[in-house]
Structures are given as structure tokens and as C-alpha cells.
Structure 1
Amino acid sequence: MKTLSQADQDRIAQAVAQAEKTTAGEIYCVLAPEVGDDRAVPLIWATSAALLLPALALLAGFRPEMLSRLFGGWSIGHAAAQDVAILSALLTYVGLQAAIFAVVAALVSIPAVRRALIPSGIKKARVRRAALDYFMAKDLHLTRERTGVLIFAALAEHRVEVIADDGVHAAAPSGVWDEVVADLVAGLKRGAIADGFVAAIVRAGAILAAHAPPRPDDRNELPDGLTVLPK
């Protein structure tokens, strides 16, 4: 993950503080390097490949004795020695499975390959769940007038979630939050994480100002800075 400088984090905190001057709402920003634990993915793919590929080869016409000859075994002429040939072929089959398992596991262990093999629907649901969990854990649902907004970016999954609490979500058109997402995504695609967050914060602040104006007794209920989750 690209490291955010202290100056970048200060810019984000200042953008949140500035946006909240015009609204009773609260904006909370989170950056997650990766939200999923995919350590089992290489094992799943390697096991599947080791079980299926040799079996498919046999279905395509290969036979145990052919496997033995393919990998250097001797032809057996005496009928009584066929059991030895079959045992040799089975050992070759098991060795082939082990080799396939090792190669596929190593390949899928490469982070970019591993993430590419995870269906987009699973990644979307995972990031959504992580954002909702964080929304609840940080009490964004307990702000005074239910006007908390979470801006959540998961870098490895290339996903952004913006969650607005009931107090502002019901008042603002749902489509406006897509604009907040688009602003953040545009910055992330350029590798400008801080710029993306600042643009999203400014957009979210304008929405909050229009639908949750400031109160005379308003107070800052949540920290303004960016929370960066551990890897």
C-alpha cells in the first residue's frame, strides 16, 4: 500500500474539520489495505486442481500404464508383473497430483493472482460487511441526529463504500452518495489517495450542509482524522 505522509493525513483531517463547520453531520474516513483473509484460497485452488486435472486426463484417454511410460517407467511384458505396473502408475498418479498441488498453490499465493481469482460479488459483499461493521463499532449510528457518514476504501479489493445514517440518508437523494464514491475512486485510480479522500469529503460535506445544517450547540462527536487499518 502506498504510504500516506503525515502531511496527507493532516490534509484529510483538515478537510473533515472544514466540512463539518457547515453541518451538524459527522464524517469519518477509513482506509483498509485489505479487508479479507484469503489464506485458504491457494489451498482450495491447489486441492481442486490436484484432484481434477489428473482425473480429467484419465477421462481423456490416459491409462495408469500410459502414465508410467510417460514418466519414464519400463514396459512390462510378463502378465504376472501387471500388478507392479499398476502400482507404479498409481504412484506416478499420486506424484503428479502432488506436483500440480505445489505448482498451483505457489501460483495462487501470489497476492495479485489470489485476489483476481476471488469473484467480484464476494469482494463486494466482504467490503460492504467490513464497512458496516466499522460503522457500528465506531458508533456512527449514535450521533445526536443520526447524521454520521462513513467513507470507507479497501485498496486490495478496489472497492469504496459510503454509508450514511438514517438522519441524512432519508433526506438526501440516494444518487448523491454515488458522487462521493466516484470522487474517491477517481483519486485512488490515480494513486492520489489523499486527493481522493479530500474530494469525497468536500462532496459529502456539501450534501450534509444541504440536508443537516449546523446547530448552535453543535459539537464534534467523532475524530476528524483518517483511520488506517492494519494489514
Structure 2
Amino acid sequence: MLRRLLLNLFAGWFRLSRWFPAATMIRIRDAIARGELGHAGELCFAVEPRYSIWSVLSGLQPRQRAATAFSLLRVWDTQDNSGVLLYLQLAERRVEIIADRGIAARVAPAQWQRICDRFAADIADGDPEAAVLTCIAGINILLSEHFPASADNPREVPDDPVVL
């Protein structure tokens, strides 16, 4: 608990602007847009620098916060229940993937976990942009395989990264 408090007090504030400057956010947006051409899914990337002290003390976990963000960002609001949220909590360097029921029915949880595990290894290597882009590429591959694009492939979720 003390480690989480310290990380959220000090680590997240400075990482956002250093790890995700405007140019990086544009490259992430473009990777999402390109990837969505090959599948019927809708991908949203959300990054949260840190949690409040009160959130940490109350036991808020990244998975729980990702589920809340999935709802708040309306990633679930797609015609085919095809939304996927890639959520990154910077202070604790935690990533979560939340897939809507249309995609979750086709992609096994172990496949999502492999992508998260790869992300954790990549972020530990120190290049957050590369880690996020590799993670997005992995999600796009899974979606292309299990949820291929159709003739009617509407854009239902904005491609722009979201800072919470």
C-alpha cells in the first residue's frame, strides 16, 4: 500500500508529458486508425497519470478503474459490441485491456493476457511509445483474426487517445 501511495504521489505527474508528448499521441491515434481498417473492432487508448491518495487508500485497482473508464468513454456503445479499451495507469505502470462482449466471446482471456504481459516487458525496457504501439499492433492482429472488417465498417469510437 505504501509503495502504491508513493508511486501515485510522485511518479505519475511527470511521466505523462515526458512519455506522451503531442507527437506521440498523434502517432498512437494514427496507429489506431490504420489498424481499424482491417477489423470490425473499435479501439480506444486511455492513459491516466495517477490516482488520488483517497482512491489508493480506498483500494482502487487498475482493472476496476479500466472498467469504469470503459463505461465513461462509452467504448461499449458500438453496433456489434466490438469496443476494446487499452488502459494505462502511468504511476504504477499497469495496463488493462477491457473487451466488449462481442469480442470477448471470440478472443480468449489468455490472448489478452499475453498482450498485457508483453506490454509490461516492453514498458520496463524504457520506451513507452514503442510499448504502446506494439500493444496496439497486437490488439489489431487479434481483432483482424477474430473480428474481420466487413463492408460496413463504421467509425463508432474516436481514435484520439484520452487522458483521464
TM-score of the two chains, using structure 1 as the length reference: 0.59
1:195 aligns with 2:134: no
Quote the offset at 1:152 in angstroms: 0.4
2:41 paired residue among 21, 25, 29? 25
Larger fraction in helix: 1
Q: What SS does the aligned partner of 2:112 have?
A: helix
1:38 paired residue among 53, 63, 81? 53
Q: Work out whether residues 179 and 203 of structure 1, in 8 Å CA contact, stay in contact via their aligned partners in 2.
A: no
In the other structure, the counterpart of 1:134 is 69
Taking the aligned partners of 1:126 and 1:39, their CA distance within structure 2 comes to 12
Taking the aligned partners of 2:132 and 2:120, their CA distance within structure 1 comes to 9
Q: What SS does the aligned partner of 2:38 have?
A: coil
TM-score of the two chains, using structure 2 as the length reference: 0.82
Q: What SS does the aligned partner of 2:141 have?
A: helix
Q: Work out whether residues 187 and 194 of structure 1, in 8 Å CA contact, stay in contact via their aligned partners in 2.
A: no
2:27 paired residue among 8, 11, 15? 11
- Trace 1:202-213 onto structure 2 (pairs within 5 A): 202-213=137-148
Whose radius of gyration is greater, 1 or 2?
A: 1
Quote the offset at 1:39 in angstroms: 5.4
- Trace 1:61-210 onto structure 2 (pairs within 5 A): 122=59, 125-210=60-145
Taking the aligned partners of 1:127 and 1:224, their CA distance within structure 2 comes to 22
1:180-201 CA distance string (max 9 Å, x none) = 2123223322332211111111
Taking the aligned partners of 1:165 and 1:20, their CA distance within structure 2 comes to 16
Amino acid at match of 1:25: G
In the other structure, the counterpart of 2:5 is none
State the 4+ residue runs in structure 1 displaced beyond 4 angstroms.
Answer: none
Q: How many residues align?
A: 148
1:197-224 CA distance string (max 9 Å, x none) = 1111100001111111111111111111
